[in-house]
Structure 1
Amino acid sequence: MTHGDPHVWHASPRLVARYADGSLAEPDAWSLEKHLEDCPGCAALVSRAVRGTAAGAVLDEVRGAVLAAAPAGAARSVAPPAPALPRIARLLWAAGPAVRGAWLPAVLLVAVAAMALGYGGGVPGARALLLAIAPVVPVAGVALSYGPHADPLYEVAAASPAGGLRLALTRTAAVLAVSLPPLTLTGLLLPASGAPAAAAWLLPGLALTLGTLALASFVGCRAASGVTAGGWLCAVGAPVPGAPGGEVTTRLAEQLSRCFDGAAAQGAWAAAAVLSAALLTARRQAYDRPLYR
């Protein structure tokens, strides 16, 4: 591979030659093929190299036979459309294990449990309980979506042009897209009972998620998720142990109001999100190597 900008690479003649003769290792071949989707120059280089091999001659014969048998006018078609199935498979791979696996059912289970407590169990502070848990749900999704413990193809993905921080952000966006709508809608359907607004957790949740990604560049995804999620739950639940039995959810709602309500609180969360994003940008190269911790 030839390098200029550390984030852009192009195929070297040696790499292309090894790909053409079939001696290139599978992870490197997969990485090169992914690169060819967005680099016409390298695609033309590989095409010329493959045409010079025995396989290229066979492909030319097959192409000629197909064009000869095609109906009039069909030969003028530039290229057939890409099959839909590989695109869907690629999208599911990019979305990550948490989204294409049991993540959505788990989020829906949290929402259904909150509704059951609020209406079936007669718990007046069900919204407070949901809002206390909601900000750490995307954090857990990040831990389950990125890293060797979550993805059997992690090493291959981390070595590809589509890997690194780009892949981590893609999977984080997928987790947020799946988690935010059902949890926020559930909060709207539950009685307020002194708890903050149903959407008050969105900015804190984003800040905790970005903070997790930034911290993961130092300690890995699982440890970072444990620190941010554990820190949040300890902070929001600190007043609860000393509350009388019937006032647990009331104390929780009061603590959540201190954390969520008002321009000062939301401004602090916005500042935390911006600072986390800035740190993540500064540490983006840490994602270019596998995060094994």
Structure 2
Amino acid sequence: MTGWHAPETLIARYADGSLPDADAWSLEKHLESCASCAGRVSGAVRATAARAVLADVRDAVLAAATPTPAEAPPLRTPRLLWAAAPAVRGAWLPAVLLVALGAVLLAHVAGFSGARPLLLAVAPVVPVAGVALSYGRHADPLHELAASTPSAGLRLVLTRTAVVLAVSLPLLTLAGLVLPSPGGPGAAAWLLPGLTLTLAALALGGWLGLRTATAVTGGGWLCAVLAPALAAPDGAVARHLSDQLSAYVGGAATQGGWAAAAALCAVLLAARRTAYDRLERF
């Protein structure tokens, strides 16, 4: 906003239809970010002969949009499935199963002692990747249509994020519980870091775009956890990975830090929520 407000003469000409198209479009663009002028224009339009017509149109739209009690239940389920479906189709769901089953097979078939630390290192980026793969043109053939609806933007992103978390969190935590524990963090120690990374990706997505933000957060986590363990001079990757995870996710103080970071990311996301109204819209 620049502090400029539409003069009364301009509003009056817009209301009676005598304002040139270019000026009318400019005024309408201004109304998107100025509630004061929008209210004045609305009042001016209602004062014209168009008021009765607009009232009839409003009543017709509300009547068509309000389902009867018999219609409401069957309508909500398809809408929810339509909103959530891209979050669980494609390559992401098989990837989650591969991570969980792969860790179990490494531990119980191959006898790899570092299977649990490896799972705990990879698990926080799985929901982050799921969020990236569930929203955008690459994920939804009807993305342009969905992005133009009132339910689009952050609301749609959060719906699909909730589905991703609902699938990945219990599955990966269960896989961690059945793995042998040589020490180090518990099977659920990755949950707060995973939630924080997901919220951080959503918050950064308002500036960088969702896929870039998830690459930054997920890639940063993997580099921070895996790189020191893989570079261990004695070759004891599993032990060094367990030590890294203990430092990053072990202990009440560390988990409290992750909880505070998650709350901060949630605040940033709320502050940037309108950015998703324009994100990948076209």
**TM-score between the two structures when normalised by the length of structure 1:** 0.72
Partner residue of 1:274? 263
Work out whether 1:193 is the aligned partner of 2:182: yes
Q: Quote the offset at 1:246 in angstroms.
A: 4.9
Moved more, 114-123 or 94-103: 94-103
**Counterpart secondary structure, 1:122:** coil
In 1, are the aligned partners of 2:184 and 2:250 still within 8 Å (CA)?
Answer: no
Give the Å deviation of 1:137: 0.1
The aligned residue for residue 53 of structure 1 is none
Instruction: Please say if residues 217 and 291 of structure 1, whose CA atoms lie closer than 8 Å, have aligned partners that are also in contact.
Output: no
1:238–1:40 distance in 2 versus 1, CA, 3 Å: farther
In 2, are the aligned partners of 1:214 and 1:276 still within 8 Å (CA)? yes
TM-score (norm 2): 0.75
1:230 to 2:230 alignment? no
SS at structure 1 position matched to 2:220:
helix
- The one of 121, 125, 140 equivalent to 1:136 is 125
**Following the alignment from structure 1 to structure 2, what is the Cα–Cα distance between the partners of residues 119 and 165?**
42
| Alignment correspondent of 2:280 | 291
Q: Is the CA contact (8 Å cut-off) linking 1:140 and 1:225 kept in structure 2?
A: yes
Q: Which runs of 5+ in 1 are unaligned?
A: 7-11, 21-38, 48-77
- The answer for the alignment partner of 2:167 in structure 1 is 178
User: What residue is the counterpart of 1:25 in the other structure?
Assistant: none
Question: Which of 194, 200, 204 is the equivalent residue of 2:193?
Answer: 204
Q: In structure 1, what is the equivalent of residue 141 of structure 2?
A: 152
For residues 269 and 107 of structure 2, the distance between their equivalents in structure 1, rounded to whole angstroms, comes to 38
Is the CA contact 1:196–1:257 (under 8 Å) kept in the aligned structure 2? Answer: yes
Task: Tell me which amino acid in the other structure corresponds to 2:142.
Answer: L
CA RMSD of aligned residues (A): 3.1
CA distance in 2, matches of 1:91, 1:256: 37
Q: Secondary structure at the match of 1:240?
A: helix
| Partner of residue 40, structure 2 | none
Aligned to 2:7: none
Give the letter for the 2:137 counterpart.
P
Partner of 1:43: 62
For each residue in 1:246-272, what CA deviation from the matched residue of structure 2 results, as whole angstroms up to 9, or x when unmatched? 510110000000001112211111111
For residues 58-73 of structure 1, what are the structure 2 equivalents within 5 Å? none
Q: 1:90: how far off?
A: 2.0
Residue number in structure 2 paired with 1:105: 94
- 2:269 aligned with 1:250: no
1:167 aligns with 2:156: yes
Counterparts of 1:231 and 1:80 in 2: how far apart (Å)? 50
Q: Is the 8 A contact 1:115 1:190 kept in 2?
A: yes
Q: Using the alignment, how far apart are the partners of 2:71 and 2:136 within structure 1?
A: 33
